[in-house]
Homo-oligomer: A and B are copies of this chain.
Amino acid sequence: MLVERTLGFSLIGRDFSKAHAPRHRRGGSKIREKNALSTPRLFHVGVPGFVQSRAFRCIWLLEEIGVDDFEVVMVTPGQPYGPQMRSYGVRHSRKLPTLELDGQEISESGVICQVLAERYAEHKSLLGRPEERLELLQWIAMAETCITFRIPLLPTLMRPDQDLDSIRTGAVEPMRAVFRDNIERFEEHFDERGSDYLLASGFSAADTMCGWSLDTLHSWGVMDLSAGDSPKTLAYLERLRARPAFLEAEKYVNVAPGRYSRGCAPLDD
């Protein structure tokens, strides 16, 4: 069984080989028909031209694998996500992305990408080779830590009585250096490896994870890859952005709140 083979124990505490009735039947899904899995439903939000939630990483991953049967729910930006998700049956989560899968609610895009990649690994593996597991996990973590405000800078930034000068010299400028250093770590990696993607074995969940981070922060100039010091990382980002699955995943940011199936096709409620 797929999940048992990959992980050594059941994915979310029960056996996926026991088929569950999918909520929304669609024709032509080779992956779904084969494994009789329920439909993954992802909650997502975006502001066109500015930002897309981390659910982008997960939709991109599903597109790369070629999963035909999934659902994306776009919520309204700027309004609390919890109540909006409640209206779609979510019980606990109030954070994006949220994945609904077999009655479970799963948060954290890194976990969601792993869960989905493991679930559909028999169709197309985006988990790298077994010996790359630790590297994959480090990139998944790095996708967040490379955009995390350096923790010792937080007290200066968050002080109630802070002034502009101390914020600039005590938090913002040091953080710019951290972002430059993080770019350098990517650049060194591509220099040493000469690979097109983060793992030597090819495109993986490491790329959907770090790709969103680089794409988002580069588009704002916060991690500016076009300054000339990181040509390989810039080429990597351009390679990612040109992938058909990336372009498919980008479509959702432009649609109205509501439910969509693959290809950004509206679902009637």
Contacts and interface: CB of A to CB of B under 8 A. Distances in A.
Interface string A213-249: 0001100111000000000000000000000000000
Nearest to A155: B220
A111 interface: yes
Interface stretch (A62-70, A135-143, A252-260): A135-143
Contacts of A152: 47, 50-51
Contact of A147 (B6, B51, B115, B151): B151
Contact of A104 (B7, B134, B176): B134
A158 B130 contact: no
Contacts of A155: 220-222
Contacts of A222: 154-155, 158
Contacts of A51: 151-152
When all copies of this chain in the complex are counted, the total is 2
Given A149-B148, A152-B50, A108 B130 contact: no
Nearest to A153: B149
Contact of A13 (B13, B131, B138): B131
Contacts of A149: 148-149
From DSSP, what is the main secondary structure of chain A's interface residues? helix
A197 to B, nearest CB: 18
A211 interface: no
A145 B145 CA distance: 9
B158 A175 contact: yes
A216 B151 contact: yes
A175 B110 CA distance: 22
Nearest to A111: B137
Contacts of A157: 157, 172
A5 B220 CA distance: 45
A144 B134 contact: no
A10 interface: yes
Contacts of A104: 134
B164 A10 contact: no
A217 B243 CA distance: 40
A94 B147 CA distance: 17
B134 A11 contact: yes
A124 interface: no
A31 interface: no
Given A10-B131, A13-B131, 18 more contacts: A6-B8, A7-B133, A11-B133, A51-B151, A51-B152, A106-B134, A107-B141, A107-B142, A108-B145, A110-B141, A111-B134, A114-B137, A115-B134, A147-B148, A147-B151, A155-B220, A155-B221, A158-B175
Please give me the 8 A-B residue pairs with the lowest Cβ-Cβ distance, nearest first: A13-B131, A8-B8, A108-B141, A164-B164, A149-B149, A9-B130, A155-B220, A111-B137
